[in-house]
Amino acid sequence: EGDVICVFSQYGEVVNINLVRDKKTGKSKGFCFLCYEDQRSTILAVDNFNGIKIKGRTIRVDHVANYRPPKESEDWDEVTRALHAKGCGVKTPPHTSSDSPSEDEDVPVKKQKGEDCS
């Protein structure tokens, strides 16, 4: 999990990560959900990471409609509790371009990444 945050933090602050694991074995299913603090970071990461190779694997990075924080647990920190209640990307800055409405405004602040996160 730390390696994933390290790699993806070069484009912004990662505020939450949900490493999806097999319920029976506890092993990584090879993908996770990751939430950035702001929308610009999400867009940069999707644009720059989708299709690259990390540790010999080509990864898929994309936006998702709804960020899925980890299942409720006593170990949740305040950020995870807030994300579960309000969703990801509550700090998204307003669109500042004077051009016509950008596709950025419709892009969710969540993404799914297809790397073995273990």
What pLDDT score does 94 carry? Answer: 47
Tell whether 18 is covered by a domain: yes
Give the position of tokens 């999806």.
20
Give pLDDT tens digits for 1-48: 677 788 899 999 998 888 888 989 999 898 898 989 899 999 999 999
The model's pLDDT over 49-92, given as tens digits with 9 standing for 90+, comes to 999 998 898 999 999 888 877 776 667 777 777 776 666 754 44
Total domains, the chain: 1
CA angle centred on 9, ends 94 and 45, rounded to 5°: 60
Residues 6+ apart with CB under 8 A from 104: 39, 40, 43, 95
Q: What is the CATH number of the domain that holds 21?
A: 3.30.70.330
- Indicate whether 116 belongs to any domain: no
Range of the structural domain that residue 33 is part of: 1-86
